[in-house]
Chains A and B, each alone.
Chain A
């Protein structure tokens, strides 16, 4: 049942090199640490050297404290400045660059999120190296595994760059546990100013459900849901199961749900224990985002839908009948 790349990941060899040292750039919102940072720390520990973590923000001492307790983190660099409001790459790049000049890390890692993808390439240009995007495996300190063509090919590459700048796919590495005792060191960043870009604000989708990329169960709806109101069927079922709700591009484009629910090549990559695809045909681009799920269930009235080719359990049935029935059965126990 374990699919995709995972078996190869388990076989990968970690080559210990004494001279390696890795910097993980923590993602947070000044209050809480983004879970993907823990997956990134785990990837960093696989490189074999000492792992430090940079926590940069406008008021993030509390987050630094948390990071210092993550297993594997030896040192936490705390960089606080009002310029880091909104975590803009224009302000953070000089901060990481300064830290890199002082400590000469061999690897700099961040999670492959909007934050990491924005920052790592910008930093790479300053160091004149080519970043490695969204790795799913580490063979050794120079050799990494990633997917290309919407997950339809697995590429193994060896980087000769002096510093390896990497974003990490969270679902490919387990989260680092608690139990560390890192030392917190302040980084002087007073001289950094950013006049290029300014943060205006955010409109975040509020939800009590678990976060999509780290949920154990994900229920996604596609074009077959027909309207935004009908997504209520999935929310009801999701709440019964403690699941997160996702969507296909078709459902987002049709305005049924906001864009941050999109699962796929250009949306979020998820790999839950259980993925339930409802009214989703299973286009290449959608499969890219979910085909490493442990168990896939498809509910679709079209028996020819490509989603059935990857589904462990499929049911050919009208979703408007099947989903309420499923909810009722789960309620009943």
Chain B
């Protein structure tokens, strides 16, 4: 049997370590000149795909990203890690501004069908919009099963056994292939791309597409009215002794006295 064809969703987001700033006009967050990188959860998804290939379970890994031209940088990162090829779905800035997880899911679902994909790996959420929707949405469009927040993936005959992180602990499900799996932090530790691999990745094929190529209506249904700074907490006090701390907490009725 030939190996699985794996599609991995890759979002370019503001780097996780950056302290973001809200635009003064409250229309969004400042992104110009701010360090961006591959969404950390998508890095884990790529790593898992590569590990499946190293175990001869996967045969080909296609990385896909939807957004402005700079998305090609994260696709090169994915290919430097080990993805075989990439598809960049270029979205013009105005459309990108209003792009919702629903739109990405629709594009990814079409790509999955066109490329005869067996397994889609996506991060459980993007750290910018914190939506946690795309994987589930596309699984539904394709009528494929979904396994969210995976912390372990095993392939059995025509199925995947996935351990999921849930609120009270862990849950194991079996999903038939083809399937969509969204990955959680604990699944693996992504590798660093080595310099030779970064050089090689420059030669790997990167196909350029448009949302129209997939017949997806990109009309925004959500209108962002404002983006604001959260309320700043009032500065607190430092106490000198544990006694003083306990006394203060008791006075406020926060702990039983």
Contacts and interface: CB of A to CB of B under 8 A. Distances in A.
Interface stretch (B49-57, B83-91, B236-244): B236-244
B167 A196 contact: no
A165 B81 CA distance: 37
A133 B140 contact: no
B140 A154 contact: no
Main secondary structure of the interface of B (DSSP, over half): mixed
B133 interface: yes
B148 A114 contact: yes
B249 A260 contact: no
A93 B140 CA distance: 9
Nearest to A323: B242
Given A121-B136, A157-B223, A316-B238, A200 B165 contact: no
B207 interface: no
B45 to A, nearest CB: 14
Nearest to A167: B132
Given A114-B164, A158-B222, A326-B245, A196 B175 contact: yes
A284 interface: yes
A93 to B, nearest CB: 7
B20 interface: yes
Interface residues of B, number: 86
B230 A197 contact: no
Contact of A125 (B105, B167, B179): B105
Contacts of A70: none
A309 B235 CA distance: 7
**Size class of A's contact patch?**
35 or more
A273 B254 CA distance: 7
A33 interface: no
Given A157-B223, A312-B237, A284 B19 contact: yes
A259 B172 CA distance: 15
Contacts of B185: 249, 253, 266
B99 to A, nearest CB: 10
A156 B225 contact: yes
A4 B234 CA distance: 10
Interface of A: 1, 3-5, 7-8, 86, 88-90, 93, 113-115, 117-126, 129-134, 143, 147-161, 195-205, 213, 217, 241, 249, 252-253, 258-260, 265-266, 268, 273-274, 284-285, 291, 295-297, 308-317, 322, 325-326, 329-330, 333
Given A4-B230, A114-B149, A329-B246, 19 more contacts: A86-B173, A121-B105, A122-B146, A124-B133, A125-B141, A133-B132, A133-B133, A151-B230, A154-B227, A158-B223, A159-B222, A160-B221, A161-B222, A197-B146, A197-B173, A205-B169, A253-B185, A266-B125, A312-B234
Interface of B: 14, 16-17, 19-20, 22, 29, 41, 100-102, 105, 124-125, 127-141, 143-149, 151, 161, 164-176, 179, 184-186, 221-231, 233-243, 245-246, 248-249, 252, 254-257
7 nearest A-B pairs in the assembled complex, by CB-CB distance: A125-B140, A121-B136, A196-B145, A130-B102, A200-B172, A197-B145, A312-B236
